[in-house]
Chain A
Amino acid sequence: MSANQLAISYLVAAVSFILALKGLSSPASARRGNLYGMIGMAIALLVTLAVIYSHSKNVLPILGGMVVGGVIGAIVARRVQMTQMPELVAAMHSLVGLAAVFIAVAAVNNPEAMGLHTPLTGLHKAELFIGTFIGAITFSGSVIAFGKLSGKIRSAPVVFKGQHWLNLTLGIVMIGFGVAFFMADTSYEWPPFIVMTALAFLLGFLLIIPIGGADMPVVISMLNSYSGWAAAGIGFSLDNPMLIIAGSLVGSSGAILSYIMCKAMNRSFISVILGGFGGEVSEAAGDAQKKTVKSGSPDDAAFLLSNADTVIIVPGYGLAVARAQHAVKELAAKLTAKGVTVKYAIHPVAGRMPGHMNVLLAEAEVPYDQVFEMEDINGEFSQADVALILGANDVVNPLAEQKGSPIYGMPIIEAYKARSVLVNKRSMASGYAGLDNPLFYMDKTMMVFGDAKKVVEDLVKAVE
């Protein structure tokens, strides 16, 4: 295969990746999009394999690795639960990061194998440096994110004095070693390269530990972005435009998702990165004056629901934790059968990662045309008879519209505008933001305490 043929094949692959992402603009075209992605990947891998075969005939180790990895990946993809998607994605980011580091190390060790000039030119060294440190940060950051998301390590932020200065210093020192690597002769390039890589691993770790559980949707999007930039960096090092294109697509995707998540939480990107927020801040800032809440039984709630014309369900992560999605779907079906219009309202940070709640509902076979994004449905609450809030708190807190409140400006689901509001919660504990929620004390609000799954199942029975 000539170099030109190879380059054209890579171009076809790159275009397939763009088409893959384009497919995700609607659920109807999304499966075709994913297919484009697979085709692009297959083309890229096959031509690369062909080139390697024509050069060295030594493709068995590669094929072996691909089979082993492919089987593991297929098993994981089949077994993973949808509530575990954030962990899975974090784990996969870490693999991309680590692989980027390995590739860069291999390139420094044997530039010729990668089709690079020996000894490495200064430019390639600089590019390898960038690919390596982004890869290393992605790896260790994702490992921490994985640990926090899967509950293997405490998700509370780890903060200590001088943290930011330490990170900044480490970052500068790391770049210093990068420059040393850039300047070094062939025989002296390893020490600075190794130190720089080690510092990058450490930095990834230090950057993520201060970020708390509630900010994980941002972190995971950010690491998604990093993994893309790492791929682009490797693309620059290997003079491969396809890697540059694919990496930039992923990099910008992650960056946009981070932006969307920050906006939905009303937090600036910088403050998320600096961390120290989003731990399990408990107790609603001491305002223990007894405000009265009206609480009711599932039967009372069922009565309200059955007599409504329109019900909007607002699911929060508490719902997913209780694994109540299927029960909710059943409830919705029952109500629909009685002539009630049922819709779902999703806040962008309702789950543990962007779009997580949509997937959880889809898994429970909730038709996606009943599921609406916050902006699209907020206008409808004033006409809704009942807003049924399941395991959500901060995202429906009207304090967000009050100047001076800590969450002022955060976009919320305007459930309080509904004629009556049903809230299911386990207790009166406050949400991540540690704020009391005036919605719970409104006259038209009825609280139904208990485990979401249990309560919804009772509702299903009571609606009959």
Chain B
Amino acid sequence: MTAGVDPIVFYLTIFVLAIFVGYHVIWNVTPALHTPLMSLTNAISSIILVGAMLAAGPAQLDWGGWLGVLAVTLVSINVAGGFLVTQRMLDMFRKKEPKSGEKA
């Protein structure tokens, strides 16, 4: 039945379903974590690094290839920065300190 269907239709299917998944997952995020949510989604959107790598991947780099290298560098800032700053924030969210208290 799927024979003859253009691949774009599959991508659209994935797209629409992913939006639904996103909608339901995001509404479950506690409002207290909305800032980490933003930095995390930011890190996740850096997945376009995959595209940048492909652009920077040919054996011989012309100007477009070097533009890809530049894109790789820019998005790598996001990947590292996004995940690490999220980690840093999440580490701050603690319950009431246990009696001994690791931090004053």
Listed in ascending order, the chain A residues whose CB lies under 8 Å from chain B are: 13, 17-18, 20-22, 24-27, 30-31, 33-34, 37-38, 40-41, 44-45, 48-49, 52, 55-59, 61-62, 64-74, 76-78, 80, 82, 85, 88-89, 92-93, 95-96, 98-100, 102-103, 105-107, 109-110, 113-115, 123, 220-221, 224, 227-228, 230-232, 234-254, 256-257, 260, 346, 348, 351, 353-356, 358-359, 362-363, 365, 367-371, 373
Contact = CB atoms under 8 A, between A and B. Distances in A.
Interface string B4-21: 000110110011001101
19 contacts: A21-B37, A21-B44, A25-B30, A27-B33, A31-B87, A61-B56, A66-B72, A70-B77, A72-B80, A89-B38, A99-B49, A106-B55, A106-B56, A106-B65, A228-B45, A346-B31, A355-B38, A358-B32, A370-B96
Contacts of B83: 34, 37-38, 41
Contact of A354 (B27, B31, B40, B82): B31
A139 B53 CA distance: 20
A58 B59 contact: yes
Contact of A31 (B19, B29, B58, B91): B91
Nearest to A336: B96
Contacts of A252: 19, 22-23, 26
B54 A85 contact: no
What are the nearest 7 A-B pairs in CB distance? A69-B76, A355-B34, A73-B80, A73-B81, A109-B64, A252-B22, A354-B34
**Chain B at the A interface: SS class:** helix
A414 B48 CA distance: 44
Contacts, number: 378
Contacts of A69: 72-80
**Chain A at the B interface: SS class:** helix
B77 to A, nearest CB: 4
A77 B85 contact: yes
Contacts of B97: 367
